[in-house]
Amino acid sequence: MSAAIELRDVRKNFGPTEIIRGVNLSIADGERHAVIGPNGAGKSTLFNLITGKYSLSGGEISLRDEVVSGLAPFQINRKGLSRSFQVTNIFPRMSVYENIRCGVLWSLGYKYSFWHIVDNLKDVNERTAEILEEIGLQARAQIPAGVLTYAEQRALEIGITIAGGANVILLDEPTAGMSHSETDQAIALIRKVTEGRTLVMVEHDMGVVFGLADKISVLVYGEIIASGTPEEIKGNAAVKEAYLGEEAE
Amino acid sequence: MSNMSETAGVARKASFLSRYAIWLVPAIIVAIMPPVLDSNVAMAVLNQMGIAVIFTVAYNMMLGQGGMLSFGFAVYFGLGGYFAIHGVNIISEGGWPIPLPFVPFLGGLAGLAFGALFGSFSTNRAGTVFAMISLGLGEMMASSSLIFSKFSGGEEGITTDRTEVPPFFGVEFTTEQEIYYLIAGWVFFAVFLMYRFSRTPIGRIANAVRDNPERAEFLGYSQKWVRFMSFSVAGCFAGVAGALFALNYEIVTEETVGALTSGVVLLQAYIGGIGFFAGPIVGAVIFTLLQTLMSNYTEIWALYVGVVFVGTVMYAPAGLTGLIMMHIPVYRVGRMGKLTVPYARIALPALICALGAIGFLELWQHISAGATGESEIHVFFMTLDYTSPIPWIVFIAMFLGGLWDARRVAPAVADTYGNALHYAFTGEDQ
């Protein structure tokens, strides 16, 4: 199985401080991979490096054997990688429907078209309706996204992320701030919408991590100290000491 | 079967009519204006209004739809005007077979070219950086129009005679009515194209970039490219408006590219409401009316326009169109009647307050600028002696009393509106 994402000796400095210190990581196509670690370990920074928000201080990142480090976020997205954010990042003044449609338009080839009328694009509107149904927001389609409840906004965030049909999905703490029942719904949603795609996620909730991930990498102070199946990680002494403690028991 | 297809045909016709009624009704009104009004002054005001409509809708493609606040948008308007006026002169001198209605294309091309040129580096960022660059470019082009006088005619500007251009189906555009129809045609054509642009993928993504440029980048869109396209197209339509200005007045001066013109378009867009496509149209119409009608009655009309602008930004940030749109849900559920009395209750003290303020300002203006030895002025169809304390006391009392009462009843009026809106969305009273 070829690697969907490969990080080779990835480094990131902010001034004299080295936040990411030589990360090597290979995530296989179709794998559900969780990156865990204590606060300040550099998990979100790693996401920002993979998606082009930050430039690398060293190393190289490939997406399906194509080097993407140095490219802008929109160029990386066009190569089939999409992400969500730790803090909800939607288009608050636009309707829920428009939010999803923005994600759909590029992937169906309309790009920057100044000729087509969006309301008349059957394929775009059908795909948008499908995604709305998948994320359970069809009844809320016409209201401004900014007035949705928190859990609905998180679902919309996931909807926007998958709308473009990217094969590699990065979710940054998708269940943060949710209640137990909301978290269960979010896990089911993530499982459904990422079926057949590569999923990389940063998550603090160990229930979510062990319930969803095929593989887990543990990031501590900018270094991956362990990588393996959930059982391997549970049994890893270094991980227990550095991060999980009794939580993984 | 034939009944079904007939029904479908009727439904299609009805939907076609309802879809295009919004264009058809104004088109009919605009078409019958000249014979109905039968006045050259009214035609001149309407011509000014039409030009302002195209210019302001173009401006709002950047501000309202693209999130770019420009302080120098007159650059593209003025350059469109300069190129059009040179175009008319070249056509006249060379005897080129290009009639007048095609000249705005030249202004549009100039606006597009300079929009693309300046947009190529000014649209990297939105926000303060963009606003400051636009201000700098505006000042640069305004001073350049004085420096490069061979092109711009210096302080006197460039003049032309539009009647020298070959006639268009026998029309020589010698009268206000003829140029009115030319401008009106272009208003519909340009506004239709700009509306259409707002419904295209690039138009919708411009909204997305306005709301959240970072998120749009992670969906595959280059925020810079989206802004650049909106900016260039807006420049194109500003150029069309500038060309119509040149054809209407037959002169373009450095004022046309200057800061005042840039400021006016910003005021028009805000007063009308930048959040709606129709907002800038409303703003341009209201502003032109205020400017042309009020300037007949008072010398301090610009001060009143300023007050209207500040009032709009403070109390109705969605503009006049926003005020109308916020009542649509209430109107749909038939609850407007419940708002009539509370609105009349606040409108009366607000009107008294406004009249008091206007009276006071008019008195003050006459103290500062009135002819020596003259103590009488005409305010509100009355002759007043501004050396007497009585009118001062009355106007100040009206202003303060009206303000006090309007502020006192405002919370109750806001509650009534809130209730009506709640009912509109939930079907229940609060």
Number of CB atoms found within 10 A of residue B393's CB = 10
Residue B409 sits in the same domain as residue B300 = no
- Classify residue B342: in a domain, yes or no: yes
Mean pLDDT of B341-348: 95
* Residue ranges making up the domain that contains B389: 328-426
pLDDT value at position B6?
56
Based on the fold, state whether residues B210 and B148 are members of the same structural domain: yes
Spatial distance between the Cα atoms of B359 and B304, rounded to a whole number of angstroms: 12
Q: Which helix (H) or strand (E) holds A58?
A: strand A58-63
Residues B308 and B335 in one domain: no
Examine the domain organization and report whether B268 and B415 are in the same domain: no
Is B322 a domain residue?
no
- Residue B19 or A218, more confident: A218
- Does position B315 have pLDDT exceeding 90, yes or no? no
Is the Cβ–Cβ distance between B423 and B329 less than 8 Å?
no
pLDDT grade for B91, boundaries at 50, 70 and 90: very high
- B76 and B225 assigned to the same domain: yes
Q: Is the pLDDT of residue B3 over 60?
A: no
ipTM topping 0.95: no
Q: Could you tell me the pLDDT band of residue B10, with boundaries at 50, 70 and 90?
A: low
Residue B242 has pLDDT above 60, yes or no: yes
Q: Which residues of A touch B221 (CB under 8 A)?
A: 74, 106, 112
C-alpha–C-alpha distance, residues A37 and B397, integer Å: 69
| Confidence (pLDDT) at A249 | 44
Query: Do the Cβ atoms of B54 and B288 come closer than 8 Å?
Result: no
> Do A73 and B197 lie within an 8 Å CB cutoff?
no
Chain-centre distance for alpha carbon B427: 37
Q: To the nearest whole percent, how much of chain B has pLDDT over 90?
A: 72
Residue B404 inside a domain? The answer is yes
Residue at B29 is within a domain: no
B209, B333: one domain: no
- The minimum CA-CA distance between A89 and chain B, rounded to whole Å, is 6
Whether residue B202 is found in the same domain as residue B309: yes
Cα three-residue angle B3-B9-B10, rounded to 5 degrees: 90
* Mean pLDDT, residues B339-346 taken together: 94
User: Tens of pLDDT along B100-148?
Assistant: 999 999 999 999 999 999 999 999 988 999 999 999 999 999 999 999 9
Given B256, B291, B317, the domain boundary residue is: B317
3-class DSSP state for residue B427?
A: coil
Three-state secondary structure of A31-54: CEEEEECCCCCCHHHHHHHHCCCC
* B189 exposure class (CB count in 10 Å sphere: 0-12, 13-18, 19+): middle
What residues of chain B have any CB closer than 8 angstroms to a CB in chain A?
196-197, 199-205, 207-208, 211-212, 214-223, 225-226, 229, 233
Predicted confidence band of residue B2 (pLDDT cuts 50, 70, 90): very low
Chain B: residue whose CA lies nearest to A118: B200
- Is residue A91 classed as helix, strand or coil in its secondary structure? coil
Question: Which SS3 state, helix, strand or coil, does residue B392 take?
Answer: helix
- B293 and B368 share one domain: no
Last residue of a domain, one of B267, B282, B317: B317
* Euclidean distance between CA atoms A165 and A171, whole angstroms: 15
Residues 6 or more apart in contact with residue B327 via CB below 8 angstroms: B336, B339
Query: Does the residue B30 lie in any domain?
Result: no
Instruction: Delimit the domains of chain A by residue range.
Output: 3-248
Confidence at B1, pLDDT banded by 50, 70, 90: very low
Give a yes or no: residue B367 inside a domain: yes
Residue A164: closest C-alpha in chain B: B219
The phi, psi pair for A59, rounded to 5°, reads 90, -165
Instruction: Establish if B17 belongs to a structural domain.
Output: no
- A123/B contact by beta carbon, under 8 A: no
Per-residue pLDDT band at B370 (split at 50, 70, 90): low
Task: Give the chain B residue nearest A111 (alpha carbons).
Answer: B201
Q: Write down the pLDDT at residue B12.
A: 61
Residue A162 contacts B where some CB pair is shorter than 8 Å: no
Work out the pLDDT band at B245, boundaries 50, 70, 90. very high
CB-based contact B203 A114, cutoff 8 Å = yes
Alpha-carbon torsion (A105, A109, A111, A113), positive or negative: negative
Main-chain dihedrals φ then ψ at residue A61, nearest 5 degrees: -125, 130
pTM of the model: 0.90
Per-residue pLDDT band at B357 (split at 50, 70, 90): very high
Tell me what the mean pLDDT of segment B222-238 comes to.
97
In B, minimum Cα distance to A52 occurs at B218
**Distances, alpha carbon A178 to alpha carbons A73, A131, A181, A205, in Å:** 28, 22, 8, 10
- Whether pLDDT at B9 is above 60: no
Beta carbons of B160 and B103 less than 8 angstroms apart: no
Of B196, B199, B214, the CB nearest to A89: B214
**pLDDT: is A249 or B182 the higher one?**
B182
Tokens 């106007």 belong to which residue?
B395
Give the total number of structural domains in chain B. Answer: 2
B41 Cβ contact partners less than 8 Å away, ≥ 6 residues apart: none
Considering the domain boundaries, does residue B300 fall inside one? yes
List the single residue in A92, A118, A164 with the smallest CB-CB distance to B201: A118
Helix, strand or coil, per DSSP, at residue A224: strand
pLDDT for residue B382: 80
Residues of B in contact with A102 (CB under 8 A): 204-205, 208, 216, 219
Best mean pLDDT range from A108-122, B287-301, B415-429:
A108-122
Gap from A232 CA to chain B (nearest CA, Å): 34
Res. B294 pLDDT band, cuts 50 70 90: confident
Residue from the list A74, A113, A164 with its beta carbon closest to the beta carbon of B201:
A113
**Token digits of residue A107:** 């992937």
> pLDDT below 50 — which residues of chain A?
246, 248-249
Helix (H, G, I), strand (E, B) or coil at A130: helix
pLDDT of B374 strictly over 80: no
Interface contact A112, partner B, CB < 8 A: yes
Give the chain A residue whose CA is nearest to the CA of B205: A102
Residue A19: name the closest of A37, A38, A46, A51 by CA: A46
One-character DSSP codes across B250-305: SEE-GGGGSHHHHHHHHHHHHHH-TTSSSHHHHHHHHHHHHHHHHHHH-TTHHHHH
Which residue of chain B has the CA closest to A117? B200
Tens of pLDDT, residues B52-76? 999 999 999 999 999 999 999 999 9
Q: Are residues B334 and B410 in the same domain?
A: yes
Short-list A88, A66, A57, CA closest to A5: A66
Confidence at B429, pLDDT banded by 50, 70, 90: confident
What CATH number does domain A3-248 carry, 3.40.50.300, 3.40.1190.20, 1.20.140.10, 3.40.50.1980?
3.40.50.300
- Is residue B192 domain-shared with residue B302, that is, in the same domain? yes
pLDDT of residue B122: 96
Residue A90 contacts B, CB cutoff 8 Å: yes
- Which pLDDT score, from 0 to 100, does residue B372 have? 60
Q: Choose one of B283, B317, B351: the last residue of a domain.
A: B317
Please report the pLDDT score of residue A240 as a whole number: 83
How far is the C-alpha of A213 from the C-alpha of A198, rounded, in Å? 11
Average pLDDT of chain B is 91
State the number of CA atoms in the 13 A half-sphere of A73 facing the CB. Answer: 21
CA distance A193 to A174: 13
Q: Given a cut of 80, is residue B376 above it in pLDDT?
A: no
Looking at the structure, tell me whether residues B226 and B343 fall in a common domain.
no
A48 forms beta bridges with: none
Rounded CA-CA distance A149/A80 in Å is: 29
CA distance A157 to chain B (A): 10
Q: What is the pLDDT of residue B14?
A: 61
Q: What is the pLDDT of residues B252-292, one digit of tens each?
A: 999 999 999 999 999 999 999 999 999 999 999 999 998 88
3-state secondary structure of B184: helix
B211/A93 CB distance under 8 A: yes
Q: Quick one: pLDDT at residue B210?
A: 95
Q: Measure the CA–CA gap between B115 and B76, rounded to whole angstroms.
A: 7
Q: Compute the C-alpha angle B303/B305/B308, nearest 5°.
A: 115
CA distance B55 to B191: 10
Strand order in the sheet with A223-228: A81-83, A168-172, A198-202, A32-36, A215-220, A223-228
Do residues B88 and B58 both lie within one domain? Answer: yes
Q: Choose from A74, A104, A157 for mutation: most chain B CBs within 10 A.
A: A74
> Where residue B107 sits, what CATH number does that domain have?
1.10.3470
